[in-house]
Structure 1
Amino acid sequence: MKVVADGVHVRIGDAVILGSAGFEAEPGRMTGIIGPNGSGKSTLLRCLYRALKPTRGSVYIGQDDVWRSSARQAGLRTAVVAQDHDLDNDYSVLEVVAMGRNPHKRLLDRETTADEQIIADALDRVRMTWAADRIFATLSGGERQRVLVARALTQQAPVLLLDEPTNHLDVGAQLELLDLVRELGLTTVAALHDLDHATTYCDRLILVHDGNVITSGPPDEVLTPSRVAEVFGVESAIVAHPLTGRPHFVTASRVTSPR
């Protein structure tokens, strides 16, 4: 299912946080939102999943305008793994993952056998079945992220949105999580801090700077040396990874005279 942001503008008081941003994310592909800290990556992503209403502009999931839909309708189309969560420390892993079924239920509906199977399948897919009875808060950062992805999977939504999902994870957990997300085959939009991860895992990138979408396209067309120097202030190149052969983004010293 396609995701389209059309002229998304966010103003808070007198400050323009996001200025008429627009992009398209193709079905079944992974699209990365990249940019320096404070550029507007998370703001743009939050507009997609109804956490922040744009001052003007529209967001479409398929043919439906996200901000003209109910929260339940949005939950059937879009699953989210955010940077922060407000989960109670006493929830078990099983309870956290089961929350993903909420958009499919009415008030007071009980969990069905079908729900239980969907939850079990999601835990198995992220390799966290062993932790079903563990308290969520006792898990490592990487394990918690896997559980949150499992919760997203139980929604059975065609679109997955992730806000800097590898934050605070060690390098092994980062790669495992991104490999998992890539294998899901969903329409995925992720705000990413690491430009090498963006190059390696994303089909398309959206570059945001000072609240504006500068450009979008395949990683090698977006992360050109001149553009990276201008936006991030570093020298860069995309080369073949010596171990995998996949595109690998590398940086060197800072540009002495940013353009």
Structure 2
Amino acid sequence: MGSSSEEDEEEALFPNYPYELYFVKSPSTASHADVYSSKSGSESGGGGWFRYFTFGYSDSGCWVLLQLGWRFLLSLAIALIVFYLAAKPPPPNISLQIVGIRQFRLGEGVDGSGVTTKLLTCNCSIHLIVDNNSKLFALHIHPPLVEILFGHLPFAISQSKELYAGSNDITLFRLNIGTKNKPLYGAGRNMQDLLQSGEGVPLVVRVGFRSSFRVVWGLFVSKFHYKAQCLVLLSNVYDKKHKTQVYNSTCMVYS
């Protein structure tokens, strides 16, 4: 009896429940482990792309040549950009001048369909003056487009060939424009009246072109666009000494 009661008391004091084991990790240990894993991950990730730019990634001859090649190309590109910025050509100075209207004749005739009208024959010479201030590069001038207008009517159009202006030089180009037996209809009669009255015929000469400097074999191109306009007042008097129709002109160039 005594022994059984003692056992009952022990069971009451220490019940026999099922239990589990728990392990607590130290905070300092966990933080050190996290820092180490993040450092190792960042180092391995950074080396993924950086290693392709170093010689130590591989000892093969092809790898060394590849590294030398891209370094040379990068240095060359930087050198060319610096050269272009240092020697960049300034814009050229452009001027225009009417130098002669050799012929301006209105006559009676018929057009292609047999209609009687005024026919115009004229010939005009223009000087295009290019002052290239670049000491290193020549100026390429694309074919200039020239036209002559009476009011809003263009009656003569011409396009020149491509031109070249040497470096550090002033170059003069002669442009010619004209027409032969051009039917003018009502505009022809207006021209005839203005010439006979002594007022003179107002004409507009327009020139448009673009130019460019090709630096380092055309790797860098500096482009410039120009439009010029000359206002001409044409007289009915012919100057036999200079072999041109008498006129007054004023020219302006826009870039």
Q: TM-score range by the shorter chain?
A: under 0.3
**Structure number having the greater helix percentage:** 1
**Greater RCO (CA < 8 Å, at least 6 residues apart):** 1
TM-score by length of 1: 0.20
Which one has a bigger Cα radius of gyration?
Answer: 2
**Structure number having the greater strand percentage:** 2
TM-score by length of 2: 0.21
